[in-house]
Amino acid sequence: MIPEILLIVAGGYLSIGLLFALPFVMVGAARIDPQAAQATWGFRVIILPGTILLWPLLTRRWLSGTHEPPEEINAHRRAARKEARL
C-alpha cells in the first residue's frame, strides 16, 4: 500500500514537472536568465530533466519576475567584500 502511494505521488510530481518544463524551457528560461535567451535547442534538451525535477523552485523564480541569476555567496566572495570595505 505505501509503495503504491509513493509511486502515485512521484508520478504526480513528475507529471506536473513535465507540464511545467515544456513552456519553461521554451520561454521561461530566457526570462529568468538573459544568457539563456540565445540558447540552442541542445541546451534546452539538456535542461529539461533538471527542470522537471526542480519545477517548484523554478516556478517561484519565474513568477517572482526575477531576471538575473542570484549571486553565489561563498567564503571567497565574503572575504573579497570584507577586504573591499577595509
Q: Give domain limits for the chain.
A: 2-85
3-class DSSP state of 11: helix
**Above 80 in pLDDT, residue 78?**
yes
* Burial readout 26-40 (b: 16 or more C-beta within 10 A, e: otherwise): eebbbebeeebeeee
Question: Which pTM does this prediction carry?
Answer: 0.73
**Above 90 in pLDDT, residue 34?**
no
pLDDT category at 14 given cuts 50, 70, 90 is very high
Least confident of 13-17, 28-32, 69-73, 77-81: 69-73
What would the grid cell of residue 62 be? 519565474
